[in-house]
A and B are shown apart, each in its own frame.
Chain A
Amino acid sequence: MAQNETIQLDHGAGGLASRRLLERVFAKHLANDVLAQMDDAAVLAAPGGRLVVSTDSFVVDPLFFPGGDIGCLAVHGTVNDVAMRGGRPLYLTAGFVLEEGLALADLERVVASMGRAAAQAGVKVIAGDTKVVGRGQADKLFINTAGIGVLADGLELGASRARAGDAVLVSGTLGDHGVTIMAARQGLGLDLSTRSDTAPLADLVADVLAACPGARLFRDPTRGGLATALKEIAEASGVAMELDEAAIPIAGAVAGACELLGLDPLYLANEGKLICVAPAEQAQAALAAMRGHRLGDRAAIIGRAVAEKPGRVWLNTAVGGRRLLEMLSGEPLPRIC
């Protein structure tokens, strides 16, 4: 492929150019037995038990950032949503919206990254679609993925299942993805030394469930961050949540960048971390399972669910005070008068 080749409207017209793009980029990096059928739809053997299905669209600026790119993110985001319900992800579909003028080399980098991420997550991309829109009608490249997984019988996980007394765990440091994207997007020209944490979490969930079969729920704190996810869980479960600020793991570089930019890491997106709520007596087992996994070495118990004032989430601050955490209605706006 020539260095300076770009996406043209022809690439989406369904003719020869489309066919060539499919072969040279998509088939090359995403190939598997199902996709090789090259038909209107994929035919799959029905797996036993219950299916878990999720879909998500990915719009990231910039496409490439320290620690990842839109391709692997589009795999991780969807397989993680499947995994949070306890599902084992098996299949993925992928739809691409390409802006005319996108460098073919960039597209191939993204698709190659998707291929590697899918292989690592143990999922096959079984169906796909590509559309090309004119300049300015999209921002370079959008991806939609849908994921299919299977759920073991008897496994019931969900946001409404937390109970007073339960422990709240996170699998590692918070805010890495959000602060990295923000710094990269804004082109601050600063080396903040942070990296996105984007990663597939199904194995980690499986390890925790093996050690802690009573786990109530998993949640990946993506947009809105830890605070928003916990507030949703507290409201859905009718419990309050009390967090210990000192126990919440935050990487030094992320803390430093947040301090400089005036951001709160508890509201920043994560793409390779999970929250687990577990009965107190199984919390240590869950923690040990997380720490035994490559993606959970900085896992921590950060708080507990309590019965009083259902729906509230607060932080016991490092200096001994208490601070309420809320869902933000939008961009954080100053409140100090």
Chain B
Amino acid sequence: MSPGPGGGARQRQRALLRGVVQGVGFRPFAHNLALRLGLTGMVANSAAGVELVVQGGAGAVDEFFARLLAEAPPLARIDEITRLDAPLAQGETAFVIADSRGGRRGALISPDVATCEACLAEMRDPTNRRHGYAFINCTHCGPRYSIIEDLPYDRPQTTMAGFAMCPDCLAEYHDPADRRFHAQPNACPVCGPRLWLADPAGRELAVADPLARAVRALAEGLIVAVKGLGGFHLAANAHDAGAVARLRAGKRRLAKPLALMVADLEAAHGLAWLDAEEARLLASRQRPIVLVRVRDGVDLAPGIAPGLKRVGLMLPYTPLHHLIMDRAQSQHGLRALVMTSGNPSDEPICQDAAQAVARLGAGAASGPLCQLMLLHDRPIHLRVDDSVTMVAGGQARLLRRARGYAPMPLLLAEALAPADCPPILAVGAQLKNALCLLRGRQAFVSQHIGDLASPEGLDFFAATAEHLAAILDAPPAIVARDKHPDYQSSRWADELGLPVCAVQHHHAHAVAVMAEHGLSGPVLALCLDGAGLGDDGTIWGGEMLLGDLADFQRLGRLRPFALAGGDTAARQPWRIGLALLLASLGRLATVALPLELIARHGQRLALIEAMIARGLNAPESSGLGRLFDGVAAICGLRDEVLYEGQAAMELEQAMDGQPSAEAGYAFALTRREGLWELDWRPMIRALAADAAAGAGPALLAGRFHAGLVRALAAWALAGAGEHGLGAVVLGGGCLANGFLLTGLTALLERAGLRVYTPSAMPAGDGGLCLGQAVVAAARWRLGLVEVGAP
């Protein structure tokens, strides 16, 4: 045998590749590359990743590995490659794709991926055998995380196991030159999943074209439950006010914005103002929901996003969605459909037809939420919601991280994750829950799980924790949780029987951002958040911390105020509005204010005052999110919220354009109890005076925002100056406010600080688990977490 191109002595090497290397077309790619370079050997999937053996001229072998990294398929991500020399094999003449092997599970699971252009073209080609087929996919697209039951990623270990491939599909599957070579969900109308229409009781309806019938029903104003990729959607005509109102009533979702789906980017541009990054994000293969600004005069039903100027928009991400949207637009002129998660409000998304019948259909306690169900028979193993994003400061920001992103791990900087640290499970918060499994340097953050208050939510949480630990072969040795003992996640963690590492809420928020940027500190961290239990037993949420990975020191806080009624105050911001006014103006001046808030709730002033004075269910809080709520109430925008964050969102969107910095209300910066305290009382006095003089919400909200951003910057600079710090980390749920995030970043950068903000992980409680896991790892390194013998 002659030396291969590149010359040199003959060489044989074995390699193990870790990362996202399965289910992404990696083996045929390696196979074709080896053939081109005249190499022999083999490639195989194992539970750890991909095993490679190549033999040929030394130069060719090196070129092989170089191009392997440089030209890898689009969905592949190689995190680690180990190469070992091996003795030459005499007489080897071919490069083969071998069967999958077992071994320790290290391979990464790909997220579900939106339908690729090639599949879409086939689906729309009347001569193609998959024309109009709702489950077309290939090596570069289709379901992954939601259908994988175990590793290695092979068809029998997915929910496609029950579908035996027909000869045509099988031929594609075995042909390394085909783009469906080893595409595990490969299917066609002959052998694959089937679509049908059912009534709300789940009984199949005899209709020739279920899709056509379902879309017609939508055009007629009916609500259709659609079984999708990671769960169910409830679909309705977004231009039909009646349909939207019925959908809201059924879901018991009174005001929270409903997500929309449009056929393509062109349709999206027609509905909303999109900048380049928003358009890129919409069309990315993750296909998240993107919060975008609606164009004036668009004929959407007013109930889509009451009181808000932004809507959540997404593009089709499965063949079924494309078929629905194509038909809705071309045959019924519907440019947008509501596609909201198929669940009663605050509960996890439905997983199978039985659940859908019970919770969305005939079995629902208060009557069916839908009139038809569009079902299919490809089981969903793990539920995955749609991801929600926004663009702020020219950057994509994850607000809810789920489909398309989970369970891709964040690869932590070496300083952040000790290599020998045992697996750590971090369980997140009570609301917007997600959990994180830390295995070596890989931080696997689960898909968004949501509210843990319901049994369904807790079951979903527990199932996800168990699935991740099993599939990643990383049974946790340490569990990290919030300091709050009454979060459902904290209770669950305490019952595991593992060493528990309790992490203060805002320390976790800060470390989550540090982890994203590879910082190990010490850094200055501004945690701009709603509420988390503080080290002193009060509720924190507007904090300036000096933190490293293991520990922190509180440098400053928002001046505390009382939450009269506890969590009830978060639902009824009028309580906070009154508390802020009482603290800033006193009772007499408050009563005399000619505000709607006083007109509606003035008679409860005595009660609020007494609760605060006597400490009756009126915990102290320094939460910035609650300050937004209270200010929204004083502005007359909202006395009670119907969903979390509503008052703050409406306050942000009440602003007209960008307020000028000089117009901002002044805060006071003081030293109190050893802390830099940001005192909001001067701001409240000025706000109340403007409001009493008849200023509208647009002006009030603008001056509040401008003043707040300036005050936060001055506050941070005081802390940074005192401790000689050049970097500041911003974290916490208030950063969902794009004005706050970008305005504060700009001011701090102008003052010469390096500013780090959350982007790949949610700023709010959805990202908390990552911070908890990294704190636990750092404490383990310091010997502060004892891991007992098993």
B455 proximity list for chain A (CB < 8 A): 309, 312, 314, 322, 324
Q: Mark A49-87, 1 if CB is under 8 A from B, else 0.
A: 000000000000000000000000000000000000000
A189-B644 in contact (CB<8A): no
A188 within 8 A of partner (CB): yes
B454-A334 in contact (CB<8A): no
A189-B610 in contact (CB<8A): yes
Question: Which residue from chain B places its CB closest to the CB of A192 in the assembled complex?
Answer: B607
A260 proximity list for chain B (CB < 8 A): 565, 604, 607
A335 proximity list for chain B (CB < 8 A): 430-431, 484, 486-487, 531, 567
Q: Mark B202-226, 1 if CB is under 8 A from A, else 0.
A: 0000000000000000000000000
With A319-B252, A335-B486 as contacts: A262 and B566 at CB distance below 8 Å: yes
B567-A326 in contact (CB<8A): no
Residues 399-455 of B contacting A (Cβ, < 8 Å): 429-432, 453-455
Q: Return A244 CB to nearest CB of chain B, in Å.
A: 10
A329-B454 in contact (CB<8A): no
B344-A336 in contact (CB<8A): no
A188 proximity list for chain B (CB < 8 A): 607, 610-611, 614, 616
B757 within 8 A of partner (CB): no
Q: Mark A300-337, 1 if CB is under 8 A from B, else 0.
A: 00000000010010101001111110101110111111
B584 within 8 A of partner (CB): no
B577 within 8 A of partner (CB): no
Measured in the bound complex, the distance between the Cα atoms of B347 and A332 in whole Å is: 23
B257 within 8 A of partner (CB): no
Q: Return A294 CB to nearest CB of chain B, in Å.
A: 32
A337 proximity list for chain B (CB < 8 A): 429-432, 505, 529-532, 541, 625, 733, 764-765
A334-B539 in contact (CB<8A): yes
Measured in the bound complex, the distance between the Cα atoms of B347 and A261 in whole Å is: 27
B491 within 8 A of partner (CB): yes
With A321-B344, A323-B453 as contacts: A329 and B486 at CB distance below 8 Å: yes
A334-B607 in contact (CB<8A): no
B15 within 8 A of partner (CB): no
Question: Which residue from chain B places its CB closest to the CB of A337 in the assembled complex?
Answer: B530
Q: Return B694 CB to nearest CB of chain A, in Å.
A: 31
**Cβ 8 A contact of A261, one of B364, B531, B532, B616:** B616
B491, B569, B616, B764 interface centre (most CB from chain A within 10 Å):
B616
A182 within 8 A of partner (CB): yes
Question: Which residue from chain A places its CB closest to the CB of B641 in the assembled complex?
Answer: A336
Question: Which residue from chain B places its CB closest to the CB of A308 in the assembled complex?
Answer: B455
B565-A262 in contact (CB<8A): yes
Question: Which residue from chain A places its CB closest to the CB of B625 in the assembled complex?
Answer: A337
A2 within 8 A of partner (CB): no
Q: Return B623 CB to nearest CB of chain A, in Å.
A: 8
A334 proximity list for chain B (CB < 8 A): 531, 539, 563, 566-567, 569-570, 619, 621
B395 within 8 A of partner (CB): no
Question: Which residue from chain A places its CB closest to the CB of B491 in the assembled complex?
Answer: A326
Residues 600-620 of B contacting A (Cβ, < 8 Å): 604, 606-607, 610-611, 614-617, 619
Question: Which residue from chain A places its CB closest to the CB of B495 in the assembled complex?
Answer: A311
With A189-B606, A336-B531 as contacts: A321 and B252 at CB distance below 8 Å: yes
A263 within 8 A of partner (CB): yes
Residues 342-366 of B contacting A (Cβ, < 8 Å): 344-347, 364-366
Residues 634-669 of B contacting A (Cβ, < 8 Å): 644
Measured in the bound complex, the distance between the Cα atoms of B566 and A107 in whole Å is: 37
A190, A312, A321, A337 interface centre (most CB from chain B within 10 Å):
A337
Measured in the bound complex, the distance between the Cα atoms of B611 and A190 in whole Å is: 11
B456-A322 in contact (CB<8A): yes
Question: Which residue from chain A places its CB closest to the CB of B733 in the assembled complex?
Answer: A337
Q: Return A187 CB to nearest CB of chain B, in Å.
A: 7
Residues 253-267 of A contacting B (Cβ, < 8 Å): 259-263
**Cβ 8 A contact of A333, one of B366, B566, B607, B616:** B566
B563 proximity list for chain A (CB < 8 A): 334
With A189-B606, A337-B530 as contacts: A320 and B567 at CB distance below 8 Å: no
B568 within 8 A of partner (CB): yes
Q: Return A144 CB to nearest CB of chain B, in Å.
A: 28
A320 proximity list for chain B (CB < 8 A): 252, 344, 364-366
Residues 545-575 of B contacting A (Cβ, < 8 Å): 563-571
Measured in the bound complex, the distance between the Cα atoms of B346 and A321 in whole Å is: 8
Number of A-B contacts (CB under 8 A): 117
Considering only CB atoms and an 8 Å cut-off, how many residues of chain B contact the other chain? 56
Interface of A is mostly: loop
B487 proximity list for chain A (CB < 8 A): 335
Q: Return A26 CB to nearest CB of chain B, in Å.
A: 35
Question: Which residue from chain B places its CB closest to the CB of A260 in the assembled complex?
Answer: B607
B610-A186 in contact (CB<8A): yes
A332 proximity list for chain B (CB < 8 A): 486, 566-567, 617
B458 within 8 A of partner (CB): yes
B394 within 8 A of partner (CB): no
B485 within 8 A of partner (CB): yes
B566 proximity list for chain A (CB < 8 A): 262, 332-334
B344, B541, B617 interface centre (most CB from chain A within 10 Å):
B617
Measured in the bound complex, the distance between the Cα atoms of B604 and A261 in whole Å is: 11
B569 proximity list for chain A (CB < 8 A): 262, 334
B625-A321 in contact (CB<8A): no
A263 proximity list for chain B (CB < 8 A): 617
Q: Return A34 CB to nearest CB of chain B, in Å.
A: 43
Measured in the bound complex, the distance between the Cα atoms of B9 and A111 in whole Å is: 105
B488 proximity list for chain A (CB < 8 A): 324, 326
B456 proximity list for chain A (CB < 8 A): 322
B533 within 8 A of partner (CB): yes
A261 proximity list for chain B (CB < 8 A): 565, 611, 616-617
B366 proximity list for chain A (CB < 8 A): 319-320
Measured in the bound complex, the distance between the Cα atoms of B432 and A186 in whole Å is: 35
With A190-B610, A334-B619, A336-B431 as contacts: A323 and B567 at CB distance below 8 Å: no
A324-B733 in contact (CB<8A): no
Q: Mark B497-508, 1 if CB is under 8 A from A, else 0.
A: 000000001000
A186-B616 in contact (CB<8A): yes
Q: Return A59 CB to nearest CB of chain B, in Å.
A: 18
B565 proximity list for chain A (CB < 8 A): 260-262
With A260-B607, A320-B366 as contacts: A333 and B486 at CB distance below 8 Å: yes
Residues 438-480 of B contacting A (Cβ, < 8 Å): 453-456, 458
A187, A321, A330 interface centre (most CB from chain B within 10 Å):
A321
B619-A333 in contact (CB<8A): yes
Q: Mark B289-313, 1 if CB is under 8 A from A, else 0.
A: 0000000000000000000000000
Q: Mark A258-297, 1 if CB is under 8 A from B, else 0.
A: 0111110000000000000000000000000000000000
Question: Which residue from chain B places its CB closest to the CB of A330 in the assembled complex?
Answer: B485
With A309-B455, A312-B455, A322-B454 as contacts: A333 and B539 at CB distance below 8 Å: yes
Question: Which residue from chain A places its CB closest to the CB of B569 in the assembled complex?
Answer: A262
B644 proximity list for chain A (CB < 8 A): 336
A261, A322, A333, A336 interface centre (most CB from chain B within 10 Å):
A336
B614 proximity list for chain A (CB < 8 A): 186-188
Question: Which residue from chain B places its CB closest to the CB of A336 in the assembled complex?
Answer: B570
Question: Which residue from chain B places its CB closest to the CB of A312 in the assembled complex?
Answer: B455
Q: Return B77 CB to nearest CB of chain A, in Å.
A: 32
B431-A262 in contact (CB<8A): no
A328-B531 in contact (CB<8A): no
A-B CB contact pairs (8 Å), 15 listed: A188-B610, A260-B565, A262-B566, A262-B617, A320-B365, A333-B533, A334-B539, A334-B563, A334-B570, A335-B431, A335-B484, A336-B644, A337-B505, A337-B531, A337-B764
Can you list the 6 inter-chain pairs with the closest CB atoms, starting with the nearest?
A262-B565, A262-B568, A337-B530, A336-B570, A186-B614, A320-B365
16 more CB-based (< 8 A) A-B contacts, given A337-B733, A337-B764: A182-B616, A186-B611, A187-B610, A188-B614, A188-B616, A260-B607, A261-B616, A320-B364, A321-B454, A328-B486, A332-B486, A332-B617, A333-B539, A334-B531, A334-B621, A337-B432
Footprint of B on A, CB under 8 Å? 182, 186-190, 259-263, 309, 312, 314, 316, 319-324, 326, 328-330, 332-337
